[in-house]
């Protein structure tokens, strides 16, 4: 059985991940891509099969993607990456994400860059995310800063990473705010930023606590106020840790 701390950490990570997905979904150009699709009904049919018949859903999406459907290219890449509905093939996943990215899909950009990050191909991830940042695409800012933090030229990229994290935080990226607060508190950006990092991490912990309270993934027992006070303290401790692989 998992301890309460494990449950709170899992709840916090899950809440931040969902928050970032919801936020990023408001930033991507999905509607513009959708309007350009020639066979929207067939795409909807492929989507409807995802849970009941993933193999057939993959076949439908693949046929559409091969005919030039940019919207369908990311689901094809996802199936190849996860092995759901198709044999897992990371080379094919990369190829389809890249096709979507090169055709202007924001989602393709994110998935391709994330694949590179998970594969520790940080230089390639930087190239992809930088193209998004250069046109003001906010969801690419935190991943680019993260890629910088894992690279050999971090000392030269530190100031740019700080700027990227501040821009992403201002745009509403909770994951970026959490990383920024933790990095500043740990002195990554110099001693003068430590007090600001401590304050920001505390505010992030409060925001995460509110997310968990709304979703209530852990049922409180006894005094609810005491439970959520304890939850808040745990969330604050959690906010000072940096995940090895952030969920983008």
120: left (phi over 0), alpha (psi -120 to 50) or beta: left
Q: Dihedral of the CA atoms 103, 95, 86, 69 (nearest 10)?
A: 20
Tell me if 176 is assigned to some domain: yes
pLDDT band at 10 (very low <50, low <70, confident <90, very high): confident
Q: Does residue 131 lie within any of the structural domains?
A: no
What mean pLDDT do residues 96-106 have? 97
Block residue for tokens 């930033």: 27
- 1 part of a folded domain: yes
Q: Are 118 and 110 in contact (CB under 8 A)?
A: no
Q: Please indicate, yes or no, if residue 57 is contained in any of the structural domains.
A: no
Number of domains in the chain: 1
Whether residue 75 lies inside any domain: the answer is no
| pLDDT above 70 for 6 | no
What pLDDT is attached to residue 165?
98
Residue 106 CA to residue 29 CA, distance in Å, equals 6
pLDDT digits (tens, 9 = 90+) for 128-171: 999 999 999 999 999 999 999 998 889 999 999 999 999 999 99
Residue 235 lies in a domain: yes
Confidence of residue 105 (pLDDT cuts 50, 70, 90): very high
Q: 143 lies in a domain?
A: no
What integer pLDDT is reported at residue 20 of this predicted model?
85
Average pLDDT of the segment spanning 212-222 = 57
For residue 154, what are the domain limits? 1-27+148-248
Residue 212 inside a domain? The answer is yes
Residues in Cβ contact with 190 at an 8 Å cutoff, skipping those fewer than 6 apart: none
Q: Round to whole Å and give the CA distance between 179 and 60.
A: 39
pLDDT of 233 over the 60 cut = no
pLDDT at residue 38 is higher than 70? yes
Quote the pTM value: 0.84
Residue 18 pLDDT: 84
């Amino acid at each position: 059985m998992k301890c309460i701390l494990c449950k709170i950490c899992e709840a916090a990570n899950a809440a931040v991940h969902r928050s970032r997905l919801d936020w990023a979904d408001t930033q991507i150009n999905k509607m513009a891509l959708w309007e350009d699709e020639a066979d929207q009904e067939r795409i909807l049919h492929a989507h409807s099969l995802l849970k009941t018949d993933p193999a057939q859903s993959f076949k439908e999406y693949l046929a559409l993607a091969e005919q030039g459907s940019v919207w369908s290219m990311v689901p094809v890449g996802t199936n190849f990456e996860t092995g759901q509905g198709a044999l897992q093939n990371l080379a094919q996943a990369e190829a389809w994400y890249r096709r979507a990215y090169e055709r202007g899909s924001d989602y393709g950009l994110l998935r391709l860059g994330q694949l590179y990050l998970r594969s520790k191909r940080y230089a390639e991830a930087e190239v992809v995310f930088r193209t998004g940042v250069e046109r003001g695409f906010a969801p690419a800012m935190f991943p680019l800063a993260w890629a910088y933090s894992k690279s050999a030229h971090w000392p030269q990229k530190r100031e740019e990473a700080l700027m990227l994290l501040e821009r992403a935080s201002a745009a509403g990226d909770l994951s970026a705010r959490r990383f920024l607060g933790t990095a500043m508190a740990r002195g990554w950006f110099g001693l003068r930023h430590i007090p600001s990092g401590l304050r920001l991490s505390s505010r992030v912990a409060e925001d995460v606590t509110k997310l968990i309270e709304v979703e209530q993934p852990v049922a409180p027992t006894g005094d609810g106020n005491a439970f959520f006070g304890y939850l808040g303290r745990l969330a604050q401790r959690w906010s000072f840790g940096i995940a090895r692989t952030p969920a983008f």
